[in-house]
Structure 1
């Protein structure tokens, strides 16, 4: 009887049911689209952070660069006097961005409560100057006498000028990162994939081997098996890596000990990469490190996210603030409209419900009937809203609008204009990210829950109104 009456009433009041379902569908669809776009932006930001941090890294420990004038020396280049047109070349290896930390800091960080693993790295910049000198030619214009004292005696000296000659030099720079080859599952190199050759072996802690970034290898025509020279030392290229984000952490990767030798920084590192034992303990680990290891700056992925600007950050802010509040407002409005329409429909059915009560229907049965109708309307709205929401998310993914992520230069106290990841000038680097709108099962379940909630809220309005009807009302009300 319940379902028969329910089916008949829904068919008889199709327009009213469609209005209620459409209102709920609009709110649910907006929630799905905003949630999926927000999820896509979150993944895009994660991709940016991985390009800076490396997979599996929860935070970094660094020491801010020294202020200018506090003992920092500018690079000097010296050239030997050679024959004319002889080529000259000089390299200068410098620690990039941060002050160095003692290698003992790695062990100290690793012993902090909540730290699962810690590994050090040394970020270097190599300035390479190549060119040649050319001796000028003396052009004589004539001779002139120069007398001695009192005008007696003298000699003839050539008069002229030096023409031509000079010097032509090219200045190039590239980045080198010293990595701990015994712990390659942590740090920036983990955000790249070895596309040719191999990665380092755990036994190559002080070997003259290198992994080169694919873009740099293409630019300099480097390949597996060839050698690359860094400050007079030749390194055999054993692998070529490609960054997942398209932006490599460094041009060259070499064993940490070799990097320390090149930079004359024995037992020194610039960055300690930290993996927390539990993602819920990241803030606790950060506080512990800052408290127990003075003079260091601890930067988490959340801190790093604050330095990402550009259209990605703007769109993310809009989705998380305006978009979510708009979807909530539309959803609340849809619930209220559905409730008011259901209550209004009950008011127009006074004679019907009064007659049913006169025939023996209890108030609870009438209320359940109204709630059942509203719940079906809510489920219909949910199905329609899910369909529209999925279509909207599909359109966003199909279009894949490109957003730009500009990497900020401060990053929670880092110095030198470089943040966390080695070899990257964050202030002048931007990444283009294609936006997607993935729809997860949890979003669908939320949509179903909203549809049920909308139906129950609408049914509560109508049920409350129906429960107050009396059989005598049917005798005084004529539709």
Structure 2
């Protein structure tokens, strides 16, 4: 009886039911769209952080650079030998550690033993500046003629003609990685696209994995060789970052990097993975307290430095989008409640007659709430369809967002991330482009269903309350 009457009444009031359902649908669709875009923003930011930090890395430990000693410039010096002859080819490599000061390798073991730390791996970031070219010796010629006892002319001041220097400066980054634990650290954010990565036995091998962009620039292939400060290394693999651009040009085993940088048993960065994401803050405090002078940077710290259109869009989705969704949803609920209440007012004779026939107030209330619930579920279905469609459109269009990683005040300008050079280098190299997607999760769908039921209950509660207060006499007074 209840179902039959419910179906008949909804059929008689199709327009009113459709208006209520559409109002709820628009509010629910907006909530789904905003929630999906926000999830896409979070995924995009994770890609940015993983491209710098490496998969599974929760924090990095570095040591800030100290001011140069008095009388020292802290710059880079290149010394060339002056040789006689028409021309002389010269070449020199300057290898320096990037970021801040180095840490003792023993600290990696100490950090790994901290409570709440699952694993810790050290890495050594180097910057290699290669200067090569040639000097050409000039010739000295006098500007006049004659000589001692010549009688005519005078001898002028000699002038050097010809000669000069032509040098090419090439700078690239090298990172020494722990080949035994490659799942944590800078190389974990890279995907081998050609060749292979290091084996655990290659701790001292003069081998290198180069980034795809650097390999293309230098025309390196698997088996190619090149020298780093006089040490010949062989390319065994070409890697591409999971997202964005790589900040590191060359990866070598940690021991080889320590030899190149004259930094035996030293690292510039310690990559740390916590046992639980809830313990990251506590681990950071423990490391800072136990190892003075270090800078501990978490992924949350790094996330706060992301700027560009990704950050702007994320802020809009989080603040403006959320409040807009709440406002539209509240308006949709209110409109649905008012329309339901208004519909009850126009059904005075109907409900009064039903009460006169013996319907108790609870049956009348159940009837109104039932109709509102059906309207809410229809609105929820329409809202889910619209919201999923909008999210699919965003994913299909894939708008490009830029992300720039600024300084957190830690070593290397980026909290010790791989390839962390000076602030100027980071500003130029840590700008990446991310394609935005809008994934719709089951949680979002469940939220939409919950909102649909809530909207139907609110509308039904107001309408049912009004219907339950009607008396049979109202029906008689409405008869003309």
TM-score, length-normalised on structure 2? 0.94
8 Å CA contact 2:143, 2:155 repeated in 1:
no
Shift of 1:170: 1.2
Query: In structure 1, what is the Cα distance between the partners aligned to 2:148 and 2:341?
Result: 120
State which of 419, 422, 426 in structure 2 corresponds to 1:423: 419
Separation in structure 2 between the aligned mates of residue 254 and residue 345 of structure 1, nearest angstrom: 75
Deviation at 1:49, TM superposition (A): 0.5
Q: Which shows bigger deviation, 390-399 or 52-61?
A: 390-399
> What secondary structure, in the 3-state scheme, does the structure 1 residue paired with 2:413 have?
coil
Q: CA deviation at 1:351?
A: 1.5
Q: Is the 8 A contact 2:210 2:251 kept in 1?
A: yes
Match in the other structure for 1:414:
410
Q: CA deviation at 1:66?
A: 1.9
Cα contact 1:417–1:427 (8 A) shared by 2: no
Residue of 272, 275, 296 corresponding to 1:274: 272
Which residue number in structure 2 is paired with residue 434 of structure 1? 435
Is the contact made by 1:65 and 1:415 (CA closer than 8 Å) also made in structure 2?
Answer: yes
Q: Tell me by how many angstroms 1:81 deviates.
A: 2.3
Q: CA deviation at 1:269?
A: 0.7
Kept in 2: contact 1:186–1:273 (CA 8 A): yes
8 Å CA contact retained: 2:124, 2:266: yes
Distance 1:380 1:199 in 2: 55
For residues 270-327 of structure 1, the C-alpha deviation after alignment (integer angstroms, 9 at most, x for no partner) is: 1100001111211121122122221111111111111110001000100000001100
**Alignment partners' CA distance in 1, 2:115 and 2:470:** 66
Q: Which residue in 2 is equivalent to 1:48?
A: 48
Aligned to 1:81: 82
Aligned match of 2:101? 99
Q: CA RMSD in A?
A: 1.9
CA distance in 1, matches of 2:79, 2:416: 32
Determine the structure 2 residue equivalent to 1:128: 130
Tell whether the 8 Å contact from 2:221 to 2:235 is kept in structure 1 after alignment: yes
CA deviation string 1:112-151 (max 9, x = no partner): 111000000000000110110001122232247789xxxx
When residues 419 and 286 of structure 1 are mapped into structure 2, their CA distance, relative to the original with a 3 A threshold, is closer
Aligned to 2:117: 115
Q: What are structure 2's unaligned runs of at least 5 residues?
A: none
Aligned to 1:151: none
Partner of 2:217: 219
2:238 matched to which residue of 1?
240
Partner residue of 1:67?
Answer: 67
User: Aligned partners of 1:418, 1:358: CA distance in 2, in Å?
Assistant: 78
The residue correspondences of 1:35-434 to structure 2 (distance < 5 A) are 35-67=35-67, 73-82=74-83, 83-143=85-145, 159-408=157-406, 410-411=407-408, 413-424=409-420, 425-428=425-428, 429-434=430-435
Which deviates the most, 335-344 or 115-124?
335-344
What displacement does 1:203 show? 1.1
Cα distance in 2 for residues equivalent to 1:452 and 1:72: 70
Moved over 6 A (4+): 144-147
- Quick check: 281-290 or 173-182, which moved more? 281-290
Cα pair 1:48 1:245 within 8 Å, conserved: yes
In the alignment, the residues of structure 2 paired with residue 69 and residue 342 of structure 1 have an alpha-carbon distance, to the nearest angstrom, of 80
Match of residue 153 from structure 1: none
Q: Secondary structure at the match of 2:252?
A: strand
Aligned mates of 2:479, 2:316 — CA distance in 1: 52
What CA distance in whole angstroms lies between the structure 1 residues aligned with 2:89 and 2:142? 29
TM-score (norm 1): 0.95
Q: 1:143·1:159 contact (CA, 8 Å) conserved in 2?
A: no
* 8 Å contact from structure 1 (residues 418, 427) kept in 2: no
**1:86 partner SS:** strand
Residue 474 (structure 2) aligns with:
473
Count residues with an aligned counterpart.
471
In structure 1, what is the equivalent of residue 447 of structure 2?
Answer: 446
Instruction: Give the whole-Å Cα distance in 1 for the aligned partners of 2:450 and 2:204.
Output: 59
5+ unaligned residues in a row in structure 1: which ranges? 148-155
User: For residues 375 and 250 of structure 2, what CA distance do their matches in structure 1 show?
Assistant: 62
Question: Matched residues in 2 for 1:401 and 1:261: separation?
Answer: 45
Give 2:17's aligned residue.
17
In 2, Cα distance between equivalents of 1:144 and 1:228: 55
Given that 1:99 and 1:270 are in contact with CA atoms closer than 8 Å, whether structure 2 keeps it comes out as yes
Alpha-carbon offset, residue 444 of structure 1: 1.0
Asked whether the 8 Å contact 1:61–1:297 carries over to 2, the reply is yes
Check the 8 A contact 1:144/1:158 in 2, yes or no: no
The whole-number CA distance in structure 2 between the counterparts of 1:455 and 1:286 is: 48
1:72/1:203 CA distance change after superposition, 3 Å:
farther
- 1:188/1:249 contact within 8 Å kept: no
